[in-house]
Chain A
Amino acid sequence: MTVTGSRGSLPEPATVRGRFRIPQSVLGYALILLPLVVMGTLILYPAFLSIADTVTEHSPGGSLQVSLADYVEFFNTPLAVRNLAFSLRITAVTVAVLFLAGFPISLYLRFTHGRLGNLIQMLALFPLFVPGIIAAYALIRFIGDNGWLERFLHLLFGYEGFTSPYLRPAGIVVGLAWEGISITVLILTAGLSQIPDSLLETATDVGANRWQSFWRITMPLMKRSVLIVLTLNFLTVFGSFTIPYLLGPASPEMMGPYMRRTFYDANLPSRAQVQAVITFLISAVISLLYVRSVVSQKVEEES
């Protein structure tokens, strides 16, 4: 489609554009070149360079050869393996917590209208408006020793057995769940809103009960949104740094803080590279699932 195409048979005004024009595709490529170059140099190049660096080594003769020695070393380091397993465990728990908390909220928001629903939505989206570093600080005060949560439990229920999750594994889960709940609810409600009321009403008309229409209609139509939420949350949590660094224990630690310590404190960039590539490989399948479900959705919208 050209710019002038829809103007029918009106004569072309004598503009500069009319006499001399660059083909639209050339101009289009020229305009999008810059961000593509930035993405290539700042995302793809570093990632592939690290992969290349870590699977090769210089032989005594000076030539490059393929070697997986760096990875063998990683998996022979008990601390590294322990941190990796810890990261995966925290990630799995956080993704599950986010889904189990976010899905009921989204369902509630989809099927209720009115002021209560609006308030709940505002609260659920609130963390989106709190920068991560401020949220981390606030959560430390809230869940920490002698924090507000402990005081509440003490005054309301006389509960004395509170152990603060701050600087414990649970602290990471709390922090990441607090930060992630908004996006989870946002994506799930967006998915639910694409299910037309008429479809659910039809199901009720032909005698389906709430549970049946939920299981047979809502869930199948939600598959993609659920997949996007699970995969995106996995990538966000697994690749996180600030919350585990500030709220988590010093040992074991998640891959984020561990990689920074290797890079910065231990000053071993090449070993940090190996750790980073391992996080890439582990999330590769998840990334693929995420990108594929988003792409299929976008392509559908475009057509």
Chain B
Amino acid sequence: MRSMVGRSLRLVAGRPWFGICLLLLLALVILGPMLNVFLWAFTRNWAYPSLLPTVWSIEFWDDTFARADILEGFIASVWISLIVTGLSAVICLPAAYAFARMQFPGRTFLLLSFLATNAFPRFGLYITIAVIFFRLRLIGTVPGVVLIQLVNTLLFMIWIPTAAFQGVDRALEEAALDVGASPLRVFLQVTLPLVAPALAAALLLTFIGTFYETQGALLVGVPEVRTLPVVMIRLINNQVIVQYGAILSVALWVPSLLLLIFAQRVLRGNTIASGFGV
């Protein structure tokens, strides 16, 4: 048995066909759904069993963006994401600096305590938050949505910038101090430019993550506050016209993909994994 498995392992690693099969399978399963949505966005009719739309059209694009709920959802999402990202930065960035640069008892423990956000089953946690918001009458309000979405942002907004501040070569700062620059000037002109890309990436990841955050917004925001993902859920549940959801997906996803690719290039490969504890 063992030698059989050993032989097949050897075969698999030595031959490219395993890789090619894997590639094709992944391409179908991973890219298939996204490609399918792309096609739907340019479809008028799509009869079964054709693999491609039977009648192509872009007529639904105007309709989609003329819908009041989509427009309002978009505006709400942009505003709320900006507020959450700004708030998260104000709360977390000074802390990240302290975690990276200062020595105080319990530093490592406190830094790791932010893992608590990962250690709860997420929606159960949201329910317990929503119960408090219910008593405080924060359900259906923008502050309620902002606060529940803030929960998601803490870990990345602390861990990524902490790693960035730790990565700055202290010799550069000390050289600047030696030639008489004030600490503030050293921070602004030496430290900040060096960590700026990572900070930008952290802000971007937070903004995008918040923009598409669905379950917290649905639980706490409805019925008065409807972000775009919540509008999208309604489109899915009502199933009126397939194209609305498809067009919205395409229009929203492409810019977020570009931004995320930028963010990932800036960060070292393992930063995202490190947010999950690796």
On whether the beta carbons of A228 and B102 are closer than 8 Å, the reply is no
Alpha-carbon distance between A228 and B98 when the two chains are bound, in angstroms: 28
| A contact residues, total (Cβ < 8 Å) | 116
Q: How far is the CB of B166 from chain A (nearest CB, A)?
A: 10
Question: Across the interface, which residues of A come within 8 angstroms of B204, CB to CB?
Answer: none
Task: For the complex, give the distance between the alpha carbons of A20 and B147 in Å.
Answer: 38
Q: What is the CA–CA distance of A214 and B163 in the complex, to the nearest angstrom?
A: 33
CB pair B129 A31 closer than 8 Å: no
Beta-carbon contact of A39 and B117 below 8 Å: yes
Q: B19–A269 contact, CB under 8 A? A: no
Say yes or no for A295: interface residue by CB 8 A criterion.
yes
Segment of B55-63, B64-72, B192-200, B269-277 engaged in the interface with chain A? B269-277
Report Cα–Cα, A104/B6, bound state, in Å: 14
Whether, in the assembled complex, A209 has its beta carbon less than 8 Å from a beta carbon of chain B, the answer is yes
- The stretch of A61-69, A72-80, A231-239 that contacts the partner chain: A231-239
CA–CA, A277 and B121, complex, Å: 10
Which chain B residues in 1-49 approach chain A with CB under 8 Å? 2-3, 5-6, 9-10, 12-13, 16, 18-20, 22-23, 26-34, 36-37, 40, 48-49
Quick one: which of A161-219 are within 8 Å of B by CB?
A: 178, 181, 183, 186-187, 190-191, 209-212, 214
Q: Are A43 and B257 in contact (CB under 8 A)?
A: no
The answer to whether A10 touches B26 (Cβ under 8 A) is: no
Cβ–Cβ contact A287 & B277, under 8 A? no
Pair A294/B116 contact, Cβ less than 8 Å: no
- A282 CB, min distance to chain B CBs, angstroms: 8
Contact pick for B128, options A47, A131, A298, CB 8 Å? A47
Mask: chain A, 276-300; 1 = CB below 8 Å from B; 0 = not: 1101100100010011011101110
Collect the chain A residues with CB atoms within 8 Å of residue B130's CB: 263, 269, 272
Please determine whether B122 and A35 come into contact, CB atoms closer than 8 angstroms.
no
Interface residues in A32-85 (C-beta closer than 8 Å to B)? 32, 34-36, 38-39, 42-47, 49-50, 53
| Residues A186 and B273 in contact, CB atoms below 8 Å apart | yes
Instruction: Decide if A140 touches B277 in the complex (CB within 8 Å).
Output: no
Flag whether A17 is at the interface (Cβ < 8 A).
yes
Provide the residues of chain B in CB contact with A129, threshold 8 Å.
256-257, 260-261
**What separation, in Å, do the CA atoms of A209 and B246 have in the docked complex?**
51
Q: Does the CB pair B22–A120 fall under 8 Å?
A: yes
State A293–B94 Cα separation when bound (angstroms): 28
Contact A43 B178 (CB under 8 A): no
The B interface, classified by DSSP as helix, strand, loop or mixed, is helix
- Asked if A49 and B51 make an inter-chain contact with CB atoms under 8 angstroms apart, the answer reads no
Does any Cβ of B come within 8 Å of A119's Cβ? yes
Please state if A43 and B125 are interface contacts (CB–CB under 8 Å): yes
Task: Collect the chain A residues with CB atoms within 8 Å of residue B48's CB.
Answer: 146, 151
- The contact string, 1 if C-beta is below 8 Å from chain A, for chain B 221-258, is 01000000100110010000010011001001100110
CB–CB B22/A108 < 8 A: yes
Cβ of A86 within 8 Å of any chain B Cβ, yes or no, is no
Contact A1 B256 (CB under 8 A): no
Q: In the complex where A24-B102, A32-B110 touch, is A123 in contact with B134 (Cβ < 8 A)?
A: no
A140 CA to B120 CA, complexed, in Å: 28
- Nearest Cβ distance between residue B161 and chain A, in whole angstroms? 11
Report how far A293 CA is from B119 CA in the complex, Å.
Answer: 12
Q: How far is the CA of A32 from the CA of B23 in the complex (A)?
A: 45
Q: Which residues of B contact A273 (CB under 8 A)?
A: 127-128, 131
Question: In this complex, what residue of A is CB-closest to B10?
Answer: A210
Cβ-defined contact, A238 with B121, below 8 A: yes
- Smallest Cβ-Cβ distance to B87: which chain A residue: A38
Q: Give which listed residue, A36, A119, A134, contacts B110 with CB less than 8 A.
A: A36
Q: Is A135 an interface residue (CB 8 A)?
A: yes
Which B residues are CB-close (under 8 A) to A157?
none
Q: Known interface pairs A186-B278, A276-B127. Does A39 touch B134 (Cβ–Cβ under 8 Å)?
A: no
Q: Which residue of B lies closest to A29 (CB)?
A: B104
Report yes or no: B30 in contact with A239, Cβ–Cβ below 8 A. no
One of A7, A108, A269, A272 near B18 (C-beta < 8 A): A108
Closest chain A CB from B274 CB (angstroms): 8
Residues of chain A contacted by B261 (CB below 8 angstroms):
129
Q: Using Cβ atoms and an 8 Å threshold, which residues of chain A touch B249? A: 134, 137-138
Residues of B within 8 A of A283 (CB): 120-121
Those of A246-293 within 8 Å (CB) of chain B:
246, 255-256, 259-260, 263-264, 269-270, 272-273, 275-277, 279-280, 283, 287, 290-291, 293
A residues less than 8 Å from B116 (CB atoms)? 39, 43-44
Q: Is the CB of A28 within 8 A of B36?
A: no
CA distance A205 to B18 in the complex (A): 26
Decide if B112 touches A211 in the complex (CB within 8 Å).
Answer: no
Q: Contact between A133 and B233 (Cβ–Cβ < 8 Å)?
A: yes
Q: What CA separation (Å) do A32 and B97 show in the bound complex?
A: 9
C-alpha gap A167/B276 in the complex (Å):
30
User: Binary interface profile of B, 170-210, with partner A (CB < 8 Å = 1, else 0)?
Assistant: 10001001101011000000000000000000000000100
Is A9 located at the chain interface by the 8 A CB criterion?
no
- On whether the beta carbons of B108 and A298 are closer than 8 Å, the reply is yes
Contacting A228 at CB < 8 Å: which of B105, B257, B272, B278?
A: B278
**A/B interface sample: 17 pairs, CB < 8 A:** A28-B104, A32-B98, A35-B91, A39-B116, A129-B257, A131-B229, A133-B212, A133-B232, A138-B34, A151-B50, A178-B30, A186-B273, A210-B10, A241-B219, A255-B124, A275-B124, A275-B127
